[in-house]
Structure 1
Amino acid sequence: MGSISEPILKLETIDLALLEASDPSERQRLVQACKNQGFLYLNLASNPQLVEDWGTVLNFMVEYFAKGTEEKMQDARGSDTYGYEPVATSTGAVEGLPDYYESLKASHDGLRWDHTKLAPTVAQHYDLFRRFTDSANKALQAILRELDLALGRSPSHSFQSFHSVEQPSLSTLAMFRYPMQDSVDVGVGHNKHTDLGTLTFLLCQSPGLQVLSNKPAGWQYVAPKAQCAIINVGDTLRFLSGNLLRSAVHRVMPVDKLQRDHRYSIAYFLRAENGTEFTDSIGRSVSAKAWHDEKFDVFRESHADQAKRAILTGGMEQNEVLLY
């Protein structure tokens, strides 16, 4: 899978069991991690079913993505929240080149209510994906609850109050493969961005994720850690917190400059209810759904057009020195 020779970012490891028990010390460590780097490890050892499902989903991905493109395109739905998407759909991590990953997605709403939106392959494994997303969602809800307690947010304006599982949202399970390459001319990685939603629950077993760190400054790799998810703050949580919590710019780059082996990652993106309003990175009042839709549109723009507005990186790259 390649070894990391570049700088590696040191992150706090937060224990899920202690968060669920509302341990005060762990709560404070969580808040500091969300304020400082905006990334952390979440130890999942207390949830063996979730760890087991991680392996099962990964096995499914290996088999699924090995299929021919024509067969996988039968799951394509032209959507940012469900279905298959081939490589080179958006701009990539290197100027002038497209991305080089493919994905299969299942929306949280589709798994809960509207099963007609699910790609046929996802529907065939419904119980696994529903259980997996419910577990990831529960872990992220525990993080939101502890952040609410630590920051003294009132019940009516708590982070949790904007994330009812009974209300429509664009929360999504996404499975990614970065295929092995013979040449980078076809595309590279995943373009720099901040996540548009609230919190991201990421599982991966091989390196490639890089964070634009503030201390130390510059691009730093995040090393995978056994039985741990990588959690990061998204734009929505940053905006709802009044910019107190940090949504860090990140990207995916091959560790050996060329993707020499298939790289797989699983992400559950927790997003606020569609009608949630906040002030975005350029001072507008927008809804969670509007921010989602616009940001995905920007992903598909040229690098030159992306640089004109503080959308893709949430204003964080431009304000790195000023804010931090």
Structure 2
Amino acid sequence: MATVSKAALPLSLIDLDRLVAGNVDERKRLVAACRDQGFFYLSLTSDPQLLADWENVLDFMKTYFAKSQQEKMEDSFKSDTHGDALRHDHNLMCDSAVEQHELLNRFVESADRAVGVILRELDIGVSRESSSSFQASHGAGDPSLTTLAMFRYPRQDTLDVGLGHNMHTDLGTLTFLLCQTPGLQVLSNDPPGWHHVAPRPGCAIINVGDTLRYLSGNSLRSAVHRVMPVNQLQEEDRYSIAYFLRAADNIKFIDSMGRSTTAKQWHDEKFDVFRESHEDQAKRPILTGGVESNGALVF
């Protein structure tokens, strides 16, 4: 079993403004971060509107999650994701989200612009056999399962073992994560073992997902990660906001089992595995995207 280091994983800090400007050195640092760790910090300090929206979305989440369980269950759509419902169909949104539509939509657009710049720079900086660009796999008018997710890991008082999120790789292209409370851990090769990813003020945490790894011909790293309480129990509510960029539903790639599959098929299959027991999850290389427990790629 991999050890857990008390030291935070040293991640690269990438400056969004320098990427926007097409800075060659910053592009090289971005490519290296996506190849080596698959995780990096993205500085957002030059975007005060986004930072303010981050705080306002957190306030919305705290108000929403304070509702009774019965009230929250009335908002269940019995679906793994609603895709881009924020932009199109209010019938797929709970009343609380409709009331905050302007805020949430502005937040999504800001996150989408940021990951779009990252894709553009990776298109320039990553050499691969495929002639199709990363950006072309994410056409603005193409149906996709790109989504905004808001998570609360509730404070615990009595359980002997803390609850979090089972180890996995993200299924999509890029994850744009905002959090202010520790708990995220990444399985690293160098240094080896599980390492904490410390929240950094004014920064998003970005990570490569399975789809981008496959589209890059496995040159970019989709790292195994999980969420665990820093101490034995979750001592305070932990909130995180994740914008999951996913390729167009019909985009095809070769997965870690050598199959030709589409982005939607990979999404649906991975969510099915999330619902299985840990024993059944371990039988197929879906949850961790074909990455062994030591972080080595399986081919």
> The TM-score by the shorter chain falls in which range?
over 0.9
Give the secondary-structure state (helix, strand or coil) at the position aligned to 1:320.
Answer: coil
Cα distance in structure 2, aligned partners of 1:5 and 1:161: 39
The corresponding residue for 1:22 is 22
Q: CA deviation at 1:47?
A: 1.2
- Distance (Å, rounded) in 1 between the aligned partners of 2:67 and 2:126: 47
Equivalent positions of 1:96-107 (< 5 A) are: 107=83
Residue-by-residue CA offset, 1:196-229 (whole Å, 9 max, x unaligned): 0000000000100000011000000000000000
Counterpart of 1:57, as a letter, is V
Letter of the 1:137 counterpart? D
Aligned residue-pair number: 295
Work out which of the residue numbers 238, 257, 266 in structure 2 matches 1:291: 266
C-alpha deviation, 1:167, in angstroms? 1.2
2:132 equivalent in structure 1: 157
Q: 1:307 & 1:5 partners in 2: Cα distance? A: 24
Q: Which residue of 2 aligns with 1:35?
A: 35
- 1:153 Cα deviation after fit: 6.3
- 5+ residue gaps in structure 2? none
- The structure-2 alpha-carbon separation of the partners of 1:154 and 1:145, relative to structure 1 and needing over 3 Å to count, comes to farther
Indicate conservation of the 8 Å contact 1:155/1:161, yes or no.
no
Q: CA deviation at 1:187?
A: 6.5
- The correspondence for 1:223, drawn from 198, 220, 234, is 198
**For 1:50-129, what aligned pairs fall within 5 Å after superposition?**
50-82=50-82, 107-108=83-84, 110-129=85-104
Q: How does 1:299-318 map to 2 (within 5 A)?
A: 299-317=274-292
Q: Where does residue 12 of structure 2 map in the other structure?
A: 12
Q: Does 1:251 align with 2:208?
A: no
Matches within 5 A, 1:200-219: 200-219=175-194
Whether the aligned pair in 1 keeps the contact of 2:5 and 2:193 (CA below 8 Å) is: no
Aligned residues of 2:223 and 2:295 also touching (Cα < 8 A): no
Aligned residue number for residue 93 of structure 1: none
Residue 266 of structure 1 is matched in structure 2 by 241
Native 8 Å contact 1:38 1:247 kept in 2: yes
**1:320 & 1:155 partners in 2: Cα distance?**
25
Residue from 165, 186, 197 that aligns with 1:190: 165
How far did residue 5 of structure 1 move?
A: 8.0
SS of 1:131's partner is helix
Q: Is residue 34–residue 233 contact of structure 1 (8 Å, CA) maintained in 2?
A: yes
Shift of 1:74: 1.3
* Separation of aligned partners in 2, 1:216 and 1:5: 9
In the aligned structure 2, how far is the partner of 1:279 from the partner of 1:130?
33
What is the aligned partner in structure 2 of residue 102 from structure 1? none
Aligned equivalents of 1:319, 1:281: Cα separation in 2: 16
Change (3 A) 1:64 1:167: same
Q: What is the Cα deviation at residue 184 of structure 1?
A: 3.0
Of the three residues 135, 138, 152, the one matched with 2:113 is 138
Q: Secondary structure at the match of 1:220?
A: strand
Residues 249-274 of structure 1 deviation map (CA, whole Å, 9 limit, x = unaligned):
00000001100100000000000000
Does the Cα contact within 8 Å between 1:75 and 1:121 map onto a contact in 2?
no
CA-atom RMSD in angstroms: 1.8
Three-state SS of the structure 1 residue aligned to 2:150 is strand
Aligned counterparts of 1:129 and 1:29: Cα–Cα separation in 2:
31
> 2:177, 2:241 within 8 Å by CA — same for their partners in 1?
yes
Task: Give me the whole-angstrom Cα distance separating, in 2, the residues matched to 1:184 and 1:230.
Answer: 29
Mapped to 1, the partners of 2:90 and 2:66 lie a distance apart of 25
Q: TM-score, normalised by structure 2?
A: 0.95
Deviation at 1:119, TM superposition (A): 2.1
Farther-moved stretch of structure 1 (4-13 vs 133-142): 4-13
Q: Deviations over 1:93-129 (max 9, x none)?
A: xxxxxxxxxxxxxx32x12222221222211111111
For 1:320 and 1:256, the matched residues in 2 are separated by 24
Q: TM-score, normalised by structure 1?
A: 0.87
